Amino acid sequence: MITPRYGNPRSSTLSTARTLCGMNRPRRLLRAVAPVATAAIFLLVSGCGSTPLPGSSDSGGAQASGAGRPGTGPTTEAERARDDALIAKLPPGLGAPAKKELAQQILATAENSTLDWRGQYDYIEDLGDGNGYTAGIVGFCTGTHDLLTLVERYTKSHPDNGLARYLPALREVDGSDSHEGLDPGFTTAWAKEAQKAAFRKAQDTERDRIYFDPAVRLAKLDGLGTLGQFIYYDAMVLHGPGTGPRGFYGLRETAMAEADIPSQGGTEKTYLDVFLGLHRKAMKHEDPERDTSRIDTTQRRFLDDGNLDLKTPLRWEMYGETFRVQ
């Protein structure tokens, strides 16, 4: 999950207002901070203890069913097969290459104030949010386990990579904001490794495994179209795949208690309106002054326009700046 960077910290053209927004970056306390086990992913959420992620499996994605089991996944192979068969009959939605590209562009405007999401592979800095270094295309963090998992997986297939020697330190600082054992060379090593196609691919793979694929899968099972799938993805990235009240699965369960999901007879626009309200409330929890452009002038604008398929051309505002995709 990413802490929004309200304005690209590497840009010297930011307005004063957006720079001030950057001083109020939210703390990402709802991300996964417990180790990812081989056969299941576990999440430590705001003191709630170690909780299995919904639908965790060897493949790493949350295979949650939309069939009335909020926050849970298939309990049998038959249920999973049924879900797979249902998804196979549905339109590709956000999984279509052009829509997935669009999703990364919209997300990048929220995270780096740019449409150029591919320019973020080498990004790395400490945002002062308590999560250590934030890096890469979805803000993998040294303090929230996903960066460690990325480097461990990458090292298995590329043992001589330039980040491998930092694995002992990454394991030590996991769950904290410490730089011990990482400074002064880790940031340089990250940026250098990001020049390699293999490491860029590894970032893509881990993004999909932890965030994109589980979010899109569950949104489809919930009966949501392309916009709803993006809304789930954005919330998964921002809040983390947690079952606590402000983790993604917790937000979904609360939303389902207030409005039926489309696959259970609910109206898509009504349900997404409720979900976005909870998403926004969770963003404001840590900082009431937090900028919520990613919802107010982006996702909600698309919803109010009735653009449930995320059809282009699109126009939205993020932190006072206008973005367009033709």
Cα dihedral 152, 155, 161, 164, rounded to 10, equals: 40
Active-site annotation holds for 304: no
221-262 pLDDT, tens digit per residue, is: 999 999 999 999 999 999 988 889 999 999 999 999 999 999
Model pLDDT, residue 39: 28
| pLDDT band per the 50, 70, 90 thresholds, residue 73 | low
CATH class of 26-325: mainly alpha
Q: Indicate the SS3 state at residue 65.
A: coil
Average pLDDT, integer, range 163-184: 98
**323 in Cβ contact with 316 (< 8 Å):** yes
Q: Which amino acid is at 103?
A: A
Q: Distance (Å, rounded) from C-alpha 163 to C-alpha 252?
A: 36
The one catalytic residue in 58, 79, 101, 111 is 111
In this prediction the pTM is 0.80
Q: Which of 43-47, 143-147, 285-289, 291-295 has the lowest mean pLDDT?
A: 43-47
Domain ranges of the chain: 26-325
Phi then psi for residue 310, to 5 deg, are 50, 50
Active-site annotation holds for 111: yes
For residue 95, what are the contacts with CB-CB under 8 A and spacing of at least 6?
216, 229
- 282-308 confidence digits (pLDDT tens): 999 978 999 999 999 999 999 999 999
Beta bridge mates, 322: 317
Cβ atoms of 66 and 55 within 8 Å: the answer is: no
> What distance in Å separates the CA atoms of residue 149 and residue 38, rounded to the nearest whole number?
11
pLDDT tens for 198-211 read 999 999 999 999 99
Angle between the N-to-C axes of helices 268-286 and 226-239, in degrees from 0 to 180, rounded to the nearest 10: 20
| Separation of CA 79 from chain center | 26
Find the catalytic residue in 83, 126, 129, 234: 129
Report the percent of the chain where pLDDT is more than 70.
77
Average pLDDT for 263-289: 95
Fill in the DSSP letter of residue 113.
S
| N-to-C CA span, the chain | 28
